[in-house]
Structure 1
Amino acid sequence: MTVPKKLLLSDLLKHNVRCENGIDHGPVITPWMHPPVHRILGFISRPSNLRLEREVWRLDQLKGINQQEVYVKGVCSVSDEQTLDRFPTLMNANVFNKSGQKIGLIADFLFEPKKGNIQYYLVSRSNPLIPGTSRWLLSIDQIIDKQPGSISCDIETFEDLPIQKASLKEEFLSKSRKWKAQFQDLTYNASDKLEGWIDDQISESDNDSYEMLNDDPSYDDWIDNLDIDSSEEFNRMNKSKKNTNSTNERDLDPWI
């Protein structure tokens, strides 16, 4: 039986504590933390529901873990609930964004059982005790300030964080956002293709009109169809045409 290299606190809270003498010391109810350095020092068990005493175990006393129990070695420290409530902790602490608005609670964290270093926190919008709530991963570097019962983060909303565990509602919202983005991409692509097709049609029609003007032989061949030998004869034809036009105009004028 071994201890995993990394462990979620929520997984530890599901186990009962059993010592080397085979005595059941009750379930793990809360961690023993040192928030200034983001470290867990041990855990606290409740040996009986009828008594107020609590048993405190150091983390280095943890020797093994299975699906139902954690095995410890050595003697525990006995305390009471009122004294342990004064211990600093970040569990269920309020999470504030960089604007000072409350956006959720700390629901869980991942730690190293050998050294007790916390790797990251898991935060939720609502009460973490409600089953099926979503969890977002909050790294240590994103925490800019911490006070008893609260922390401040360098984020605006939980959408800025990677989601670790999604509820049915969050999965539906996430898929809806993806579908909306895909629909917008399809719309933009269709608009670009339509504009490109219209531009191609306009350019083709302009080219066809230009080719029709260049290929029309009536403008270039009207002189060739006339029997003109020289430029002088061409000028005489123009003069005779002008005289004919002026005569026709005088005939049509009623005052002449």
Structure 2
Amino acid sequence: MNIPSQFLLSNLLKLNARCSNGIDHGIGTTAWMYPPVHRLLGWASRPSKLSLKRSVWRLDQIKAITDKDLFVKGVPAESDQATINRFPTLLEASLLSKQSEKIANIADLVFDTKTGNIIYYLVARSNPKLPGTSRWRFDLDKIIDQQPGCVFSTLETLDELPLVKSSIKEDFLKRSKEIRENVLEFSNIANERLEGWLDENQFDNPINTNDNWVDDYSNNRINDDEYYNSSDYERSKNVFNNGEDPWI
């Protein structure tokens, strides 16, 4: 099979390295890279689970790639895991923002299979070893400086990066945010239409003073005589004339 021009490192490490003699040298365990120039040089595989030996392959030894196997030419260099652990790498390094705050971890990378040049990194918010975690694309031009175990970037937050692979949690949060925004937009539109409808009715249907429901008291003058009884008035007058105190 033809070798793709670009390949994901995690997919490369899942394949069994098989030499021209048909010997299975096991799946990949560690990437061999040169961080100062962001280049992948090769990888190491484990021939046996019971052995501490590791087979180190160069990237230019790849002949073909299938769904399960990685066919290589030549023989590998023999090493051990303790030596391989001292290889410089940016994988699992902390990604720092402008304020030197940790915002993610470098989890994976995409490389050019001919030159080994790293095209971009993939970063994860949580532990990159956990399956199903989200991945964001982190381009090389956003790197300010790098040191063993950390990479300084021009980012303020992780949301500035494009999302390449989303987890179930990330999908749920994204959809919930979209639903909230849609509900808020619908509510604003409904309020605007209601206010417009009320304004139109106010100017189109002004209050008519000739309507029957408007009370008119112009002809209904209050007659004081109707509210006072003449006999009561005369009785009160006699009481005052007799010198009696009306409050006793």
TM-score, length-normalised on structure 2?
0.78
In terms of mean alpha carbon deviation, does 105-114 or 194-203 score higher? 194-203
Cα offset for 1:178? 0.5
1:140 aligns with 2:118: no
| Partner of residue 199, structure 1 | 199
| Partner of residue 38, structure 1 | 38
| Partner of residue 220, structure 2 | none
Cα offset for 1:200? 2.3
Measure the CA separation in 2 of the matches of 1:91 and 1:186.
45
Q: Deviations over 1:142-198 (max 9, x none)?
A: 222211111122223322222111111111111000011111111221222222223
Q: Secondary structure at the match of 1:116?
A: coil
Q: Deviations over 1:96-120 (max 9, x none)?
A: 1222111221111111111112121
Cα offset for 1:28? 0.9
| Partner of residue 98, structure 1 | 98
Q: Secondary structure at the match of 2:42?
A: strand
Measure the CA separation in 2 of the matches of 1:202 and 1:116.
73
Listed as ranges, the gaps of 5+ residues in structure 1 are 213-256
Listed as ranges, the gaps of 5+ residues in structure 2 are 211-248
Measure the CA separation in 2 of the matches of 1:205 and 1:142.
63
1:86 aligns with 2:64: no
Structure 1 stretches of at least 4 aligned residues deviating more than 4 Å after TM superposition: none
Measure the CA separation in 2 of the matches of 1:159 and 1:122.
14
Q: Secondary structure at the match of 1:32?
A: strand
TM-score, length-normalised on structure 1?
0.76
Measure the CA separation in 1 of the matches of 2:65 and 2:124.
27
Q: Which amino acid aligns with 1:175?
A: R
Q: Which amino acid aligns with 1:65?
A: I
Q: Which amino acid aligns with 1:173?
A: L
1:162 aligns with 2:158: no
Matches within 5 A, 1:195-234: 195-205=195-205
Identity %: 50
Cα RMSD of the aligned pairs, angstroms, is 1.8
Cα offset for 1:205? 4.0
| Partner of residue 48, structure 1 | 48
Cα offset for 1:131? 1.4
